[in-house]
Structure 1
């Protein structure tokens, strides 16, 4: 596990050091991933970045807190939160009903697609085209659940992270990979891959937090995200990492987006 310290925009921690119950006083201990584009990745200097990371860093800055990142897997994020090792998970984590039994979630900050990827020369265009094929997904992900639920006739192969998943897809170890749409777009842009099937996601991505953690911190992070929507910071970050219009389901969860969409008609959900 790699530990990476990142200051939430350089703000001093003292003003908020006694306000929240945290693993470390005045510091948000955050679990993240190193290869989940565009939500959480490690840059050339070894620092965590991505849409979810920048959103959390800005939220922490506005709350007068620092963020210390620890890199692990998706399963490590959820298990670590349940064990009280972290305050928050910073990645694209689906807020499923099953996960809500063991961790708390903020309001979703993103809502996307579920994509099935194949090598560029693939001819599959429907879920049923993968019957009998070796299809990969990250272990413990909502995409693994999707394969179990919607692709019952495939041979599921589970991987610890997206790096291993894509490596096997490119080498022919598996014939398809199921990913969140934003991650799929990122890989298609740089690898000889294609999106064979695109389906709407059933739940949004949110920040998971300790079930027994400070409810005020969860509430305040949500409020900071809404403030970022109001002042245009959220839209600026969204445009940096995504090209699709904003999902209608996300607007329902965060209605303040309605005003921003009126100013940015290309982000209108009807264009998806």
Structure 2
């Protein structure tokens, strides 16, 4: 998704791939690249851990997160959904999400767990 964003919005940028996240995080520090497009939590933790790094700009790519589960593991899927419902119902999920992503919970995720305590500010509630 990040590469698609760069190709579409910044075709002048040369994209360089790395085999793993630690190598991506180290590349700007070692001078291998001038910048790094990373998820909000990754960028924040890197900037917090190293005072020579900063978050230059936040962009919304509209991505939602998921918990991949093997199709045959219905018991795990049921347990995840039950816990997500409970976390939405008491407000814990929204607090955790906001602390990492600095934006409201996406409407699609909220709609999947309709027992949420209240809509996130600025989302207009469930779609």
Task: Give the TM-score of the pair, scaled to structure 2.
Answer: 0.72
- Structure with the higher helix share, 1 or 2: 2
Q: 1:182 aligns with which of 32, 41, 48?
A: 41
Can you list the C-alpha shifts for 1:219-246, whole angstroms capped at 9, x where unaligned? 331122111222344356x179537243
> Displacement, 1:183?
1.4
Asked if 1:268 is matched to 2:127, the reply is no
CA RMSD of aligned residues (A): 2.9
- Structure with the higher strand share, 1 or 2: 1
Secondary structure of the 1:144 match is helix
Secondary structure of the 2:11 match is coil
Contact residue 168 and residue 174 of structure 1 kept, 8 A = yes
Contact residue 228 and residue 234 of structure 1 kept, 8 A = yes
Asked if 1:247 is matched to 2:105, the reply is yes
Q: Work out the CA distance in 1 between the residues paired with 2:118 and 2:91.
A: 7
Task: Give the TM-score of the pair, scaled to structure 1.
Answer: 0.38
Counterpart in 2 of 1:5? none
Q: Work out the CA distance in 2 between the residues paired with 1:200 and 1:165.
A: 20
Counterpart in 1 of 2:74? 215
Q: Work out the CA distance in 2 between the residues paired with 1:156 and 1:198.
A: 19
Contact residue 2 and residue 37 of structure 2 kept, 8 A = yes
> Displacement, 1:186?
1.4
Query: Which sections of structure 2, spanning at least 5 residues, go unmatched?
Result: none
Count of residues in correspondence between the two structures: 121
Can you list the C-alpha shifts for 1:75-95, whole angstroms capped at 9, x where unaligned? xxxxxxxxxxxxxxxxxxxxx
